[in-house]
Chain A
Amino acid sequence: MDYNKMIERVLENIERVMIGKRDIAKLSMTALIARGHVLLEDVPGVGKTMMVRALAKSVSADFKRIQFTPDLLPSDVLGVSIYNPKEMKFEFRPGPILGDIILADEINRTSPKTQAALLESMEEASVTVDGKTILMDQPFFVMATQNPIEHEGTYPLPEAQLDRFLFKLEMGYPTQKEEIEVLRRAEKETTIEKLSAVLTLDELLALQDAVEKVIVNDSVKSYIVSCAAETRDHPAVDLGVSPRGSVALMKACQAYALINDRSYVIPDDVQYLLPFVFSHRITLGSEAKYEGITTAEVIERILAKIPVPITQASL
């Protein structure tokens, strides 16, 4: 099977509505085929939702959207059992979480209770309602968005829950040229509704399986581990990356290698993906925050410090 063509089809499809966000599209695709979830963090209006919708549309998968509000209850997410008087029993009405691709919009606006419900199901890939556990089908891909500037009435996600996301991405503003193109498209109204699916569910599952077969040499593994270990020892960091973070990075690298038409992971993949995987898994110490050191800077220093393996390691 030609994985590269499949991926290319999806990326091209997304580009029909998203301008100049190929890297984000690629990363989202990476997360999708690595069976991870993405947290998109940026100001409103830069196309977060559009991105998720375009991706969902390109794949012929069941797309669900949850708009998080402070009064949203866990049952609104997971689903609820309703008494059916005719049949004289409770009937489970599945919530939006049981879709294939889920957009969790403004996840930090809802109460921790509801957040926890969502995040738990993300990690476990199952939902427990009324003592019944329902396993979720693959693909199961959550793309959450959050707005970083509003603090009033928001509930920041706790570190442990942030760990559930494979990537934390920032969209960023388009360049001037790109923005002009956005305006031009807006005139012609090429709406997202017109996008058709270019990847079947079976093809997506095949891609997910292929990712697991991408070779990660021991030398690259040890590079990943060294980087993760360095976050734990770094003086500016209070809480470093957990082994789950290392595993996440490796899986992401495998997926990214496949997207780049490679059957093996190279250190470049690690270097490229590490900021997206590690930035939300690192908690800076108060001293570092006071000195104005950012997570991005810490990661940059770590990458500069750890030597790249250029020979095969013998572990």
Chain B
Amino acid sequence: MKDSTVSRPFIALLYILTFILLREWLVLITEVTKTGYLSLFLLFVGGSFVLSLLKVRWPLSMILKLLYIVWAIQTIYLDGTKFSISTFSYIIQSIPSDVPFILTGEIAKVSNVSRTLVFFIFIWMLVYLIRYWIEVKQRILLFYFTTIILIATADTFSEYSAENSILMLMLVGLLLLGLLMVVRLNVKYEQSFSMRKFISIMLPLVFLLSTSSLFISFLPKLSPIWADPVPFLKAVVDNKIEENPAVSKSGYDPNDTQLGGPFIQDDSLIFEATVDRKQYWKVETKDTYTSKGWEQSGVDSLPREIALGEEVLSEGTAVQDLRSAQLSLAEEFPFIIHPYGLLSVDSAHEATIYYDRFMDKYKTEKNGKKFPLNAYHMTFNEASFSLKQLRETALDELVVNRELEKYLQLPDTLPERVSALAQSITESSESVYEKAKAIERYFSQDGFLYERTDVAIPTEGEDYVDQFLFDTKKGYCDNFSSSMVVMLRTLGIPARWVKGFAPGELTHSSEGEQVYRVSNNEAHSWVEAYMPEMGWVPFEPTIGFNGVSDIDYDIELSLDDPEIEEMPEEERNEFEKEQEKEAKQNTDEKRRFNLNDWIRHNDYIGVLLSGFLIGLGLLLYFTRRKWLPIFTIRRYRFTEGNWGSFTTQYHQLLKQLDRSGIKRASNETLSTYAKRVDEHFGVNHMRKLTFVYEQGVYGEVKEAQDWQQLQEIWEDLIKRTSD
């Protein structure tokens, strides 16, 4: 990149302002896509700017950036292992399988690692472009304009809110435009302004901007005059989908004995939840796999009776982080839909809760009859789980008592290969937790597809899990969760199948309170595995669903499990300390890139994104004058000169000259043009090249030229065109 005449500190100021703009992009993208690790990406951008400020040579800066990307990916995906060669191999392994998906545009199948990699490369390119805009072009309007459009669109169409940032963006952008204008004036008059002159130019600008923005911030803001177009658009889209006659609808169905088959979306409301953040909603668990679906072996004959408002758990539990949730139901269910770590339930209606510890289900009754509550308030507390402790879980420590035994049940007809597969997946994992994680991860790596309509039903003699794992490899949550439970059981790890609801759609958000709309679409199933000495830990094998960010399954333990009660006090304290220690790591774990889900639910954002990519492509196309010669030169540097390569080089030079604004009229002869080009650059290269070219084309003299020298002349000229 060409050096500009502007001083470094000034450039640094420009970079800081640009960073503020770019930060908004990343905030937006991470928020809309529910990606975590904003700080990691911001650090990357900041680091790139610093490297270019320090004028680090490109090979070194490239290596540094690559190393950073690898480190970041390992921080995100390989929870806390040491940075080593294995990270590289992990990344390299996951890329080849994704390349076909990226090429064919099947974004949903691409694994998270590749996505993150691509995202990093995208940021890289963006930073490069910005550097080019600032240091060479000294223009930023295009980027600024794109930022505003992007923010405004995202504000309209997604849950992202630009309320706080839009004013600052306008301010920073206008300031940046003003500063760059000064830079351009500098360059134009080939002199740098004195500090006094600079201040005299900048003062009115800063004054104008600050007063006007202050004025704006105190002005009353009118609400939009036009109706919000989003609900209308959504309604149109949804109606179309519902016209499709299908076998079944998604939703909560107490009967799970026959799983499989297609279903279509059903957007009817189940309940609305007011809670402080995203939450998975649990209903019950099931223990018996029938090779076609799930059944419950038996109900608790002596369910514990809990009065409304009464503590669900025994007294004396240290409450660390008491949270509450308010549910109002649109459909009648005679049970409590609860988050993990339920402490108490309260309702305006009278009812008694019976806790079935076999199904982990809270049934509501009144006068001995099933009684659905239509609104209730819950307090709950999700206790965290130590990752270290999870890693120490060993299968031989497992004591299988009568209660756990039924969670190892498997049908006799289960094909042998399911167990063999489970073995091979978990071969390299040591602890029970890591084995479970390996299985959970397996689905996102081995070509599995989230699919709603084209899902097979196992026929007579076929096994539901076997069919999914080996034949179809596509399905929805039931396929994934059942398969994981079955695989865990083949390894001797007690596991059960959990039914409930995914967090739903955020409809309203205010200070500390978020309202989620949970529809039949959100009906979901996942997995709980029993960790020796720790208890039931939830897992989310369904690709596209993001269990981590929502139920914190690998670090938090539901308090309603008896095991945690049995934890000695000392251990508990230690456990808390560790939790703090690993807090950073854990918060990172909580969020995970979830493009899959996001693409499915937010088609319009997909359109936006592809629009943006097209824009980026166009930009690259229009700036090709700058970067194309680099490749062209490299291509020919080591080829042996001959007439054939010379003609292609000459033609590329013509194209490049055309791009750089010295256009050859169609009626202009080459020698006239060459003269003009040489006058422009103050050399006689083009004439030399043209003479040789004309000799070949019109005179058929194609041999005995000093190709080496011509190559040098050509290279010199093509470099000049890109400056």
Contacts and interface: CB of A to CB of B under 8 A. Distances in A.
A191 interface: no
Contacts of A263: 699, 701
Given A215-B698, A217-B699, A219-B698, A268 B671 contact: yes
B668 interface: yes
B695 A268 contact: no
A76 B187 CA distance: 78
B667 A265 contact: no
A305 interface: yes
Nearest to A311: B697
B667 A307 contact: yes
B239 interface: no
B165 interface: no
A97 B701 CA distance: 42
| From A217, A220, A267, residue with most partner B Cβ within 10 Å | A267
B666 interface: yes
B698 A266 contact: yes
B675 to A, nearest CB: 10
A307 B698 contact: no
B666 to A, nearest CB: 4
B394 interface: no
Contact of B668 (A264, A266, A308): A308
A312 interface: yes
| From B666, B668, B697, residue with most partner A Cβ within 10 Å | B697
| From B665, B698, B699, B700, residue with most partner A Cβ within 10 Å | B698
A2 to B, nearest CB: 18
B703 interface: no
A50 interface: no
B658 to A, nearest CB: 12
A312 to B, nearest CB: 5
Contact of A303 (B667, B695, B697, B700): B667
Nearest to B696: A312
A304 B672 CA distance: 14
Majority secondary structure, B binding face: helix
B694 to A, nearest CB: 5
A262 interface: yes
Contacts of A265: 698
Nearest to B666: A307
Contacts of B697: 217, 219, 310-312
A73 to B, nearest CB: 48
A266 B669 contact: yes
A306 interface: yes
Given A307-B666, A308-B667, A268 B672 contact: yes
A217 B700 contact: yes
Interface in B676-709: 694-695, 697-701
Contacts of B694: 264, 266
Interface in B641-676: 647, 654, 665-672
A184 B680 CA distance: 40
A222 to B, nearest CB: 12
A304 B699 CA distance: 24
A271 interface: yes
Contact of B666 (A308, A311, A312): A308
Interface in A259-315: 262-268, 271, 303-308, 310-312
A147 to B, nearest CB: 34
Kindly state the interface size class of chain A when it binds its partner.
20 to 34
Contacts of B654: 310
Kindly state the interface size class of chain B when it binds its partner.
10 to 19
Contacts of A220: 698
A40 B341 CA distance: 110
B698 A217 contact: yes
Given A215-B700, A217-B700, A264 B667 contact: no
Interface in A219-268: 219-220, 262-268
A13 to B, nearest CB: 28
Given A215-B698, A215-B700, A266 B666 contact: no
Interface string B372-385: 00000000000000
Contact of B667 (A215, A266, A306, A312): A306
A86 B489 CA distance: 142
Nearest to A220: B698
A129 B696 CA distance: 50
Contact of A267 (B669, B695, B700, B701): B669
B698 A264 contact: yes
B669 A264 contact: no
A30 B667 CA distance: 24
B670 A310 contact: yes
Contacts of B667: 303-308
A263 B699 CA distance: 7
A230 to B, nearest CB: 11
A307 B695 CA distance: 19
A214 to B, nearest CB: 9
A268 B672 CA distance: 8
A227 to B, nearest CB: 10
B699 to A, nearest CB: 3
Interface in A73-94: none
Interface string B260-279: 00000000000000000000
Contacts of B669: 266-268, 271, 308
A100 B701 CA distance: 36
A285 B216 CA distance: 71
B670 to A, nearest CB: 6
Nearest to B694: A266
A126 to B, nearest CB: 35
A217 B701 CA distance: 12
A287 to B, nearest CB: 25
A303 B647 CA distance: 25
A123 B694 CA distance: 34
| From A215, A262, A308, residue with most partner B Cβ within 10 Å | A308
A312 B701 CA distance: 12
A266 B700 contact: no
Interface in A181-229: 215, 217, 219-220
Contacts of B668: 308
Contacts of A311: 647, 697
A262 B666 CA distance: 24
A215 B665 CA distance: 25
Contacts of B670: 266-267, 308, 310
A217 B702 CA distance: 14
A215 B666 contact: no
Contacts of A267: 669-670, 698
A220 B668 CA distance: 14
A267 B670 CA distance: 8
A263 to B, nearest CB: 6
Contacts of B698: 215, 217, 219-220, 264-267
Nearest to A313: B697
| From A219, A266, A310, residue with most partner B Cβ within 10 Å | A310
Nearest to A272: B669
A215 B702 CA distance: 14
A307 B666 CA distance: 5
Nearest to B693: A310
Contacts of A262: 699
Contacts of A219: 697-698
Nearest to A262: B699
A266 B687 CA distance: 14
Given A263-B699, A267-B698, A311-B697, 11 more contacts: A217-B698, A217-B700, A219-B698, A264-B698, A264-B699, A271-B669, A308-B667, A308-B668, A308-B669, A308-B670, A310-B697
21 contacts: A215-B698, A215-B699, A215-B700, A217-B697, A217-B699, A219-B697, A263-B699, A264-B695, A264-B699, A264-B700, A264-B701, A265-B698, A266-B698, A303-B667, A304-B667, A306-B667, A308-B666, A308-B667, A308-B668, A310-B670, A311-B697
Rank and list the top 3 A-B pairs by shortest CB-CB distance, nearest first: A264-B699, A307-B666, A267-B669
Interface of B: 647, 654, 665-672, 694-695, 697-701
Interface of A: 215, 217, 219-220, 262-268, 271, 303-308, 310-312
